[in-house]
Amino acid sequence: MIIHVRKVSPEGSHFSGDEPSEVMGLEHDRFVRAAGELHYTLFAVVVSGRLLVSGTAEIRIRARCSRCGESFSTIVREPSFLRMYSLAGGVQEVDVTPALREALVLRIPIYLLCREDCRGLCSRCGANLNRERCTCAPEEVGNRWDVLDKLRL
């Protein structure tokens, strides 16, 4: 998304549109893929030799749940995008795409969950506990201490 400085009106100008999903550069990411276009709604204004760009951006991603391993889709949103670009030396064009990408990548949670209450997989049989109830007994904490006691002897 390139802003042509001359086209920005003195009161500031609004820009909105889409960038293709490839600008996110997530094609080789193991856990996250861009699954739609990057939408942006920006306001740009020139203030004392600088271009100030603010607004919002969002993109749909497909990700793998950190707890159950299932693939799911969600929207990543940057609600308060803000960047300042120096126009020193007569800069005429400012490419905002790298900053939009960076802002959105930082908004992708490190620990991605398909839903907040994802129950994950059974640690014994591997059943997806969101979909089925396995018959494994809940792990008994007591047993672990028994083992430790035996080791001490």
Binding footprint of Zn ion on the chain (CB under 5 A): 65, 67-68, 114, 118, 122, 124-125, 127, 134, 136
Tell me whether residue 67 or residue 83 sits nearer to Zn ion (CB atom).
Answer: 67
Tell me whether residue 133 or residue 150 sits nearer to Zn ion (CB atom).
Answer: 133
CB 136 to Zn ion: min, Å: 3
Tell me whether residue 67 or residue 101 sits nearer to Zn ion (CB atom).
Answer: 67
Residues 18, 112: Cα–Cα separation, whole Å: 25
Tell me whether residue 2 or residue 125 sits nearer to Zn ion (CB atom).
Answer: 125
Alpha helices in the chain (DSSP H): 97-107, 141-152
Residue 88's alpha-carbon distances to 9, 14, 17, 115, 129, in angstroms, are 18, 22, 27, 47, 58
Residues 6, 1: Cα–Cα separation, whole Å: 15
Pull the structure tokens for residue 104: 């959105």
CB 152 to Zn ion: min, Å: 31
Please give the span between the terminal C-alpha atoms of the chain, in angstroms, as a whole number. Answer: 69
CB 106 to Zn ion: min, Å: 22
